[in-house]
């Protein structure tokens, strides 16, 4: 890839994305520039991947053909105010913020900009992110393709309508945290029954990974796959009964609803 990519903010998700980009050899390290409020993280990212770094957000804005705003959602308007007059004419701005609509970001720039809204997730670190993307009418298809290729370098991508982005935030942006909770709970159950914790995490995590892979690779309905594991009168259906009695599905569905509503609230909807 010949484009230059800028990141403003060098936190968890930016580090994961930069790692994915470099490890996949999608782009060379000198074509990436990263800024951050404080210098420590910049030193670490430079040591790990050799990317260009600066504490000046405007310098990144002047450098980037594709500029990824990777500060926390509540810092978006402050950072946009700082860099809006420094971006190049054809720069594509990429938002990864939960709960920031394209309208609100365009308004903050106070001019027509090329804008892509995305929601990646933290498994970008291991090249297994799930990212959903949409764009405004200023972005050409080839420009959108370039942004898609960035996100493909550290995982899978899906193009969605902007109105679905709040749900994406809940089921993909945030869901790794829910899965970690599930993994930890399964392992706690094992520890309760005398199983060593370090081995429990390995067994549980591999089971989660394998189960997800079957869903993706076979396309079978998860309910059918669940039935295939439950033999009549067996151990698995006993465990499922215990979860269903406590309203497991209802709780998970409610978690998705709450996450979606929070994302909408952040966008002022």
Ligand X SMILES: NC(=O)c1ccc[n+]([C@@H]2O[C@H](COP(=O)([O-])OP(=O)(O)OC[C@H]3O[C@@H](n4cnc5c(N)ncnc54)[C@H](OP(=O)(O)O)[C@@H]3O)[C@@H](O)[C@H]2O)c1
Query: Which residue ranges make up the site for ligand X (CB under 6 A)?
Result: 8-14, 35-38, 41, 57, 70-73, 75, 78-79, 96-98, 119-122, 173
Tokens 């809940």 belong to 170
Cα 203 from Cα 208, distance rounded (Å): 9
27/61 with CB nearer ligand X: 61
**Measured from the CB atom, is 202 or 265 closer to ligand X?**
265
CB of 231 to ligand X, least distance (A): 38
Give Cα separations from 186 to 28, 223, 249 (angstroms). Answer: 41, 20, 16
DSSP, residue by residue, 40-90: HHHHHHHHHH--EEES-HHHHHHH-SEEEE-S-GGGHHHHHHHHTTTS-TT
CB 73 within 8 A of CB 99: yes
Do the Cβ atoms of 100 and 73 come closer than 8 Å?
Answer: yes
Cβ-based nearer residue to ligand X, 57 or 101: 57
Q: How far is the CB of 17 from ligand X (least distance, A)?
A: 9
Q: Which is nearer to ligand X, 70 or 91 (CB)?
A: 70
How near is the Cβ of 129 to ligand X at its closest, in Å? 9
Smallest distance from the beta carbon of 141 to ligand X, in angstroms?
24
Q: β-pairing, 32-35 with 5-8?
A: parallel
CB nearer ligand X, residue 157 or residue 200:
157
Q: At what angle do helices 102-109 and 76-83 cross, to 10 degrees?
A: 40
Residue 31 or 57: the one with the smaller Cβ distance to ligand X is 57
Q: Which is nearer to ligand X, 120 or 143 (CB)?
A: 120
Q: What does each C-alpha distance from 33 to 8, 9, 46, 186, 234 come to in angstroms?
A: 9, 11, 10, 41, 56
- 112: which 2 tokens? 């027509």
* Whole-angstrom distance, CA of residue 186 vs CA of residue 119: 28
CB distance 214 to 225 below 8 Å? yes
């Amino acid at each position: 890839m010949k484009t230059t990519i800028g990141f403003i903010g060098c936190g968890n998700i930016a580090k994961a994305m930069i790692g994915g980009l470099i490890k996949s050899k999608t782009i060379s390290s000198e074509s990436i520039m990263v800024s951050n409020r404080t210098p420590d993280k910049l030193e670490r990212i430079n040591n790990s991947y050799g990317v260009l770094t600066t504490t000046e957000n405007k310098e990144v804005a002047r450098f980037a053909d594709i500029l990824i705003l990777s500060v926390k959602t509540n810092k978006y308007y402050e950072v946009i105010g700082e860099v809006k007059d420094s971006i190049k004419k054809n720069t594509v701005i990429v938002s990864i913020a939960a709960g920031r609509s394209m309208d609100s970001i365009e308004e903050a720039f106070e001019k027509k900009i090329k804008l892509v809204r995305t929601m990646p997730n933290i498994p970008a670190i291991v090249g297994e992110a799930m990212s959903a993307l949409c764009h405004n009418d200023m972005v050409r298809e080839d420009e959108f393709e370039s942004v898609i290729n960035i996100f493909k370098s550290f995982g899978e991508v899906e193009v969605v309508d902007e109105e679905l982005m709040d749900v994406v935030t809940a089921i993909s942006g945030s869901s790794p945290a829910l899965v970690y909770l599930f993994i930890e709970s399964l392992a706690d159950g094992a520890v309760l029954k005398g199983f060593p914790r370090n081995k429990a995490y390995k067994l549980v995590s591999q089971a989660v990974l394998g189960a997800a892979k079957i869903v993706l690779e076979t396309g079978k309905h998860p309910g059918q796959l669940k039935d295939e594991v439950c033999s009549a009168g067996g151990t698995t259906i006993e465990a499922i009964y215990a979860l269903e009695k406590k309203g497991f599905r209802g709780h998970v569905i409610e978690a998705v609803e709450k996450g979606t509503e929070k994302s909408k609230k952040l966008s002022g909807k």
